[in-house]
Amino acid sequence: MITLSIRTKVLPDKRQEFVQTVQALIQHGQKEKGCVSCHLYQSIDNENLLSIIQEWESKEDLNTYLGSDSFHVLLGAMNYLLSEPPETKIDEGSYTKGMEAIKSVRK
């Protein structure tokens, strides 16, 4: 099982737009080959701290998703709607990778 975790801090006036975008992408992403689960979570302490957690059957399935148009839309939303860069982790069980792993797959 591979887990992709993206922790974000959304601009307060862009929160609704970000949530709507992510919800649409989650609905689409759950249909992607190898997607086990995909959820959006909100911090109890700060409604603008949101986390996207996805579980994938294999690294290959995740890599396919990272190169997809859907993930491109998510990257675009994060570029315009966040107050700071996201904290990104890919957990492959034995070790964890960050945003650099996504960038290397998207090249």
- pTM to 2 decimals? 0.82
Structural domain for 52, as ranges = 2-106
Query: How many other CB atoms are there within 10 angstroms of residue 62's CB atom?
Result: 25
CATH code, 57? 3.30.70.100
Which positions ≥6 away from 2 have C-beta within 8 Å?
A: 55, 56, 57, 58, 59, 61, 62, 90, 91, 92, 93
Q: Measure the CA angle with vertex 45, ends 6 and 97; round to 5°.
A: 20
pLDDT by position in tens, the chain (length 107): 899 999 999 999 999 999 999 998 888 878 889 999 999 999 999 999 999 999 999 999 999 999 998 899 999 999 999 999 999 999 987 655 677 778 888 87
Residue 99 is predicted with a pLDDT of 78
| Number of structural domains the chain divides into | 1
